[in-house]
Amino acid sequence: MTAIRPTINAGFPENHPDVLIIGIRSNDEGIEIATPVNGLPEDLAEQLAAVGAKGTAEEVTRIPGNGDYKSILAVGVGDTDEAVRKAAGVAARALKGGTACSALGELDVEAAVVGHYLGAYSFTEFKTGDSKEPPSIFMLTEEDSEDAVARGLIIAEAVAATRDFVNTPPSHLYPAEFASRAKVLAEEAGLEVEVLDDEQLIDRGYGGIIGVGKGSSRLPRLVRITYQYSDDAPLVALVGKGITFDTGGISIKPAASMDVMTCDMAGAAAVIASIVAAAKLGVKVNVTATVPMAENMPSGTAQRPGDVLTQYGGTTVEVLNTDAEGRLILADAIVRACEDDPQYLIDTATLTGAQQVALGNRTPGVMGTTDFRDRVARISQSVGEGGWAMPLPEELRSDLDSKVADLANVTNHRYGGMLSAGLFLKEFVPEGVEWAHVDIAGPAYNTGGPWGYTGKGGTGVPVRTILAVLEDIAGA
């Protein structure tokens, strides 16, 4: 996969850089330099104000430099880590290759590295003749920052790897190929990988994954990745939805915007990237990733509305709507993941359009066991991904009853669609497991213009949430 990624290092380049990136803020007198650098003109704030700089968040102003820099790029910064990430992203996107020195690390090195890296990211694999050059950015800080830069790069690369997967079109990323790429990525990090093909899935009773994937000529897979830190470390199970393309099956979607369903494997991509990053960071937990992969297509072999399938573990489900397929493959994966007796389970998926109705395109919905749900939502907010705790109302559960099976895969109404999907998944989570489901239907893919460190296309949400939760569990 080909994407523009910057080179980021600690220290100062051997040759004079093209650009100096600094942070500015508004104050009562106009603007102030938030990241002072030796050798800057004493009247720099006045120069910036003279060309219209206000110091508002993420505002970019460029002026000619002095002998050390060809130009100075000033970006408005706020007071939080997330504000630094966004400012760094905006600044990196304004670069046109070349070499830059960034003083934003004086505010927060890791946040600045992540923001610069993701702001400069651009997926170019299918762009012929693309002449973009990735910038080379050096972090200027008074203290030794090599460890913080290295950590920021691991986190940023995990997000970028997720974006790569999501941005790769379904013509080139189908279940077998997705499984193969996941295996390579995980094995390069020294992780144990198991891949089940369609025949093994049938033999072992993965009825949800087979039911969803049997309408496609490109048959499903299940990937299992294991990171073992130590025998006595807590075990966290990760599960991610890997629908490499979702037509809706026989309950076919409208043609408008169906192309965005290339992102329907974003949960799987995030889980794969997160376990790899956890290993690289040496997080003190054991982690398993159970990743079901299927393509949901209409055909003569596709499952029909009204069919009954048997999930892994024996629960029967009446499929009333083949476009509610994510929960069917997740249910199989959740049951398998919980056979390992994890203390914690995090599953994530582009699960419901109802998430977007309820929370918009940037706020993931978090459901699950009360304490862990709230913990995950709080951590998600602290890292800038904005997860929001949502309930699982008991009165909606009976709407998932089926006349012919243990469960129906949808209710007979449109109310609380995200919540009823969460209630469906809850049926497959054993008692005693701390569980959180993160619905990223909107946040996983940006269909609009770039903002902060987020470009158009795959966003990489919720990788940073997952990593922060793993570290929080390790710290506890």
Contact between residue 307 and residue 398 where contact means Cβ atoms under 8 Å apart: no
**Angle, to 10 degrees, between the axis of helix 146-167 and the axis of helix 266-281?**
160
Q: What are residue 193's DSSP bridge partners?
A: 225
Q: Letter for the amino acid at 387?
A: G
Structure tokens at 336: 């398998």
- Assigned domain for 9 exists: yes
User: Is residue 218 located within the same domain as residue 347?
Assistant: yes
Q: Cβ–Cβ contacts within 10 Å for residue 343, how many? A: 15
What is the Cα–Cα distance from 379 to 396, expressed in whole angstroms?
Answer: 28
Q: How confident is the model at residue 130, as a pLDDT? A: 64
The pLDDT value recorded for residue 45 is 94
281 and 379 in a single domain? The answer is: yes
Buried b / exposed e along 176-205 (16+ C-beta atoms within 10 A): bbbbebbbebbeeeebebebbebeebbeee
Beta bridge partners of 192: 226
**Under a CB-based contact definition with an 8 Å cutoff, are residues 156 and 5 in contact?**
no
> Among the three residues 123, 144, 165, which one is the final residue of a domain in this structure?
144
Instruction: Tell me if residue 332 falls in helix, strand or coil.
Output: helix
Residue 149 forms part of a structural domain: no
The answer to whether residue 122 is domain-embedded is: yes
Active site residue 253: yes
Count of structural domains within the chain = 2
Same domain, 198 and 137: no
Which residue among the candidates 5, 183, 218, 327 is catalytic per the annotation?
327
Same domain, 84 and 166: no
What single-letter amino acid sits at 63?
A: I
Structure tokens at 379: 């951590």
Q: Is 377 a member of any domain? A: yes
Residues 97 and 160 in one domain: no
For residue 225, pLDDT beyond 70: yes
Same domain, 126 and 220: no
CA distances to 1, 82, 118, 266, 331 from 161, rounded to whole Å, are 9, 20, 11, 11, 25
Mean pLDDT of 360-379: 98
CA distance 228 to 274: 14
More confident residue, 371 or 3: 371
Give the amino acid at 112: A
- Taking the whole predicted model, whether its pTM rises above 0.75 is answered as yes
Q: What confidence score (pLDDT) does residue 132 get?
A: 76
Mean pLDDT score, 367-384: 98
Under a CB-based contact definition with an 8 Å cutoff, are residues 52 and 103 in contact? no
**In 418-440, which positions are buried (b, 16+ CB within 10 angstroms) versus exposed (e)?**
bbbbbbbbbbbbeeebbbbbbbb
Flag whether pLDDT at 66 surpasses 90: no
Averaged pLDDT for residues 63-89: 94
End-to-end C-alpha distance for the chain, whole angstroms? 37
> Cis (ω within 30 of 0) for the bond into 305?
no
Task: Read off the CATH number of the domain in which 119 is found.
Answer: 3.40.220.10
**Rounded distance between C-alpha atoms, residue 435 and residue 376, angstroms:** 10
Let me know whether 250 and 348 are in one domain. yes
Where is the domain boundary, 88, 117, 144? Answer: 144
Answer whether residue 151 is part of any domain: no
To which H or E segment does residue 348 belong? Answer: strand 344-349
CB-based contact 10:149 (threshold 8 Å):
yes
Residue 34 lies in a domain: yes
The SS3 call for residue 202 is: helix
User: Quick one: 450 and 303 in the same domain?
Assistant: yes
Catalytic residue among 253, 362, 378, 456: 253
Helices 175-188 and 146-167: crossing angle, nearest 10°? 170
Burial class of residue 307, CB neighbours in 10 A (0-12, 13-18, 19+): middle
pLDDT average, residue stretch 177-192:
98
What was the pLDDT predicted at 144? 79
pLDDT tens digits for range 321-355 = 999 999 999 999 999 999 999 999 999 999 999 99
Q: Of 144, 164, 185, which residue is a domain's last?
A: 144
As a whole number, the mean pLDDT across the chain is 96
Please report whether residue 150 resides in a domain: no
Domain that holds residue 66: 3-144
State yes or no: pLDDT of 236 exceeds 70.
yes
Give me the CATH number covering residue 386.
3.40.630.10
Position 296 in a domain: yes
Q: Do residues 230 and 338 both lie within one domain?
A: yes
3-state secondary structure of 358: helix
pLDDT digit string (tens) for 151-166? 999 999 999 999 999 9
Q: Helix H segments across 168-206?
A: 175-188, 198-203
Task: Quick: pLDDT tens for 458-475.
Answer: 999 999 999 999 999 999
- How many residues comprise the chain? 476
Same domain, 452 and 348: yes
| pLDDT of 205 over the 60 cut | yes
Cα–chain-centroid distance for residue 202? 30
Q: Across residues 217-246, what is the average pLDDT? A: 98
Q: Are residues 247 and 313 in the same domain?
A: yes
Question: What pLDDT, on a 0 to 100 scale, did the predictor assign at position 131?
Answer: 65
pLDDT at 67: 77
Same domain (yes/no): 196, 101: no
Which DSSP helix (H) or strand (E) runs through 49?
helix 44-50
